[in-house]
Chain A
Amino acid sequence: MINQDTLTLTIEILQSIVRIYSVFIVFPLLLIILSRRLIQEKQKTGTYNRIRIIILSIFVTVFWLETWEFLGYQVPFVSLELSGFEAEDFSFYNFGLGLAVSLGILLATYTYKLKYFYFTSLYMFFGLFILFLYTGTSLILMPYIYVCAITSLVFLFYIGFKLKDSGALGVGIYFLLSFLTLFTPEEGILALSDIIMSFAYLNFGLLFGLGYFKPFKPKTKKEFRGN
Chain B
Amino acid sequence: METLLVAGILLDLAWFILAFFAFYYVLKSWIKSRYNINLLMVFLVLFLIVYSFNTTSSLFIYLLGGNRFSITPYIYNKIGENLTIGYIMANLLILSSLQFLLYLRNYKVLYTLPIVCGLILFMALYLTVNDIINILFALIVIAAILIDGIRNKNGIEIGVAFINMFVLSCFTVDMLVPNVILGILRVVASFMVFLGFSGILDKTIFPDKEMEDKIKNTWITRMVVKKI
Among A50-58, A121-129, A178-186, the one that faces the other chain is A121-129
Give Cα distance in the complex from A140 to B119, angstroms: 11
Q: Which of B111, B120, B130 contacts A127 (CB 8 A)?
A: B120
Contact of A128 with B120 in the complex, beta carbons under 8 Å: yes
Q: How far is the CA of A116 from the CA of B120 in the complex (A)?
A: 19
Q: Which residues of A contact B116 (CB under 8 A)?
A: 120, 123-124, 127
Chain B residues in 8 Å Cβ range of A204 = none
A135 B112 Cβ-Cβ under 8 A: no
Does B109 lie at the interface of the complex (its beta carbon under 8 Å from any beta carbon of A)? yes
Binary contact readout A89-130 vs B (1 if CB under 8 angstroms, 0 otherwise): 000000000000000000000000001111110011001101
| B218 CB within 8 Å of chain A | no
By the criterion CB–CB under 8 Å, are A134 and B108 in contact? Answer: no
A131 interface hit (Cβ, 8 Å) = yes
Query: In the bound complex, what is the Cα–Cα distance between A27 and B211 (angstroms)?
Result: 62
Count of interface residues, chain B, beta-carbon cutoff 8 Å: 17
Which segment, of B27-35, B56-64, B121-129, faces chain A?
Answer: B121-129
A130 pairs with B109, CB closer than 8 A: no
A139 touching B127 by the CB < 8 A rule? yes
Distance, CA A93 to CA B124, complexed state (A): 23
Chain B, 4-27, CB within 8 A of any chain A CB: none
Q: Is the pair A123, B113 in contact by a Cβ cutoff of 8 Å?
A: yes
Does B220 count as interface, using CB distance less than 8 angstroms? Answer: no
Q: When A115-B108, A116-B108, A127-B119 are in contact, do A134 and B113 touch as well, CB less than 8 Å?
A: no
Contact in complex: A135, B120 (CB < 8 Å): no
Does B117 interact with chain A (Cβ within 8 Å)? Answer: yes
A contact patch SS: helix
Q: Could you say which of B112, B117, B126, B133 contacts A134, with CB atoms under 8 Å apart?
A: B133
Q: Which residues of B contact A120 (CB under 8 A)?
A: 112, 116
CB distance from A68 to the nearest CB of B (A): 25
B76 to A: closest C-beta gap in Å: 21
For this complex, 16 residue pairs linking A to B, each with C-beta atoms less than 8 Å apart, are A115-B109, A116-B108, A116-B111, A117-B112, A119-B109, A119-B113, A123-B112, A123-B117, A124-B119, A127-B120, A128-B120, A131-B123, A134-B124, A134-B128, A134-B130, A134-B133
Do B109 and A135 have beta carbons less than 8 Å apart? no
Complex contacts, B108 vs chain A, CB 8 Å:
115-116
Could you tell me the distance in whole angstroms from the C-beta of B39 to the nearest C-beta in chain A? 20
Among residues of B, the one whose C-beta sits closest to the C-beta of A122 is B116
Cβ of A137 < 8 Å from any Cβ of B? yes
Choice from B110, B111, B117, B124 contacting A135 with Cβ under 8 Å:
B124
Contacts of A130 in B (CB 8 A): 120, 133
State how many angstroms separate the Cβ of A103 from the closest Cβ of chain B.
15
- Give every chain B residue within 8 A of A137 (Cβ-Cβ): 127
- Complex contacts, B113 vs chain A, CB 8 Å: 119, 123
A119: B residues at CB distance < 8 A: 109-110, 112-113
Please, which residues of chain B bring their CB within 8 A of the CB of A134? Answer: 124, 128, 130, 133
Beta-carbon contact of B109 and A131 below 8 Å? no
Is there contact, CB below 8 Å, between A135 and B119?
no
Q: Which residues of B contact A116 (CB under 8 A)?
A: 108-109, 111-112
A118 to chain B, nearest CB (A): 5
**Per-position binary interface string of chain A over residues 128-149, scored 1 when its CB falls under 8 Å from any chain B CB and 0 otherwise:** 1011001101011000000000
A131 touches B124 (CB 8 A): yes
Query: CA A140 – CA B127 in complex, angstroms?
Result: 12
Tell me the bound Cα distance from A117 to B124 in angstroms.
24
Please give me the residue from chain A that is nearest to B117 by CB atom: A127
Q: How far is the CA of A124 from the CA of B123 in the complex (A)?
A: 12
What string of 1s and 0s marks CB contacts (under 8 Å) between A45-68 and chain B?
Answer: 000000000000000000000000
Q: Distance in Å from the Cβ of B124 to the closest Cβ of chain A?
A: 6
A74 to chain B, nearest CB (A): 36
Q: Which residue in chain B gives the minimum CB-CB distance to A124?
A: B116
Across the two chains, which residue of chain A brings its CB closest to B112?
A120
Rounded to whole Å, the gap between the CB of B54 and the closest CB of chain A is: 27
Kindly list 10 other residue pairs between chains A and B, CB separation below 8 angstroms, not including A130-B133, A135-B124, A140-B123.
A116-B111, A120-B116, A123-B112, A123-B117, A124-B116, A127-B120, A131-B120, A131-B123, A135-B128, A139-B123
B116 CB, nearest partner CB in chain A, Å: 4
**A143 CB → nearest B CB, Å:** 13
